[in-house]
Structure 1
């Protein structure tokens, strides 16, 4: 054995055994300090309470009569448990209009989120993987679209749709729901990180067309991003209030958000509408809760996986 071997081997062994020489190890130990753990846990607990308290209030008050709603604490049950009666009243009020509102919301959110996800993913993939003149300008317009609130474009859209005669129709709510600047931005970032150019070149050498590359090679790699965009778009359309308010006049076309606000507006002269509004709000939360619980693992993966791929 040479002298170099006898001198370097113990040094390497000491380096492997000594955790102090690893700067990354030191940073990990620092991140696990009790103080930082307590602070992070406290912040997360406060955030959870902030978001869960309104849901808790809705659940509790959906079980009360109108008298108990105003005569007892809003954070505990009343003298009687009227959840079943309140739900039945929601489904039968105004000639059974609530199920129609629920189906309208499912139509707007379901079709709008699926098509918006497909269009955003296709456009994001094109921005990430194709080089063309004006690409930077298009990307800047997309970022600008992310920053523009939906309420700012609702009135201009009303004038445009009114001129072509599609206001007060399903199309007036569906068409704007097909555009998702945030989804396009997210898809472009994820596609640039998750889809290697070598894979696309190999597909082209095998004779696969550009649409085939997108549908057969790119889409399977973009599943986490697809689910993330779908979830965000579904929730955004389901909770949308301003656009249906501007576009729709027929009560039969209302989504749940606008229908519940219509009931709330009648509470001054008909106090029983308080319970209809509260019970309807509880029912409107259930589809979103189910969707998030089903898709949450894909959602977390979609938010983080694209950022760690090299």
Structure 2
């Protein structure tokens, strides 16, 4: 007897392990805006969401993603206004950290990610902590990599940029942060081998900062950053009450977010895993192997 046609059709093979480990690139439309993300790993595995800093994008995780994909489902979005995501003018999108966090939350929902670990660097802190405090039950663990939740961690260069902007509306220091010289400085300051860093990283970031309308977008977020500082007590309360498993992997020589910010987690977490790297603000550029190993051993 001849088998029915529908039974004789070939069954698509399951994805091979190599396919799961390969970095995938996707776009999701949220509120009429295209949100770009990188992903890798088995979607059935525990999720690890990588949240980038300023002035970077998911590009900063290009070396970390494949090192985690064998164990986790890794998702690294670009915020609106960054990387390959849409960057509407300030007249069409209100650049606030709660808006960025809301779009990331919607993206995770669309991707079917219910629970997750959060890796937070720089701006990833205020985005990630909004996700964590809004839905504590979804958090499997936290990684803070030079991402602040304490005033202790704000170094002099950051204070010199933000305080004049917040107190007097003085934009001079903030605008200086958008220059190619300062973008490179953020990568090289505190690095143990600045000449050995891949310059593609800061050139990629600067290309984003040089797009039309970028200054207005970034200045809006600089102004809104004061609400992050005002939220520190609430974030600390979350850490005290929820006690999430937390890895603090900190570039010890970062002049922007200083090492005192890492030590401060001891005040609220009973068992923080605090590790220092002999590097700066973008520690992944020098210590991706060490950070990946810390993540695999902690979670």
Q: TM-score, normalised by structure 1?
A: 0.22
* Bigger-Rg structure (1/2): 1
Q: TM-score, normalised by structure 2?
A: 0.23
Structure number having the greater strand percentage: 2
Structure number having the greater helix percentage: 1
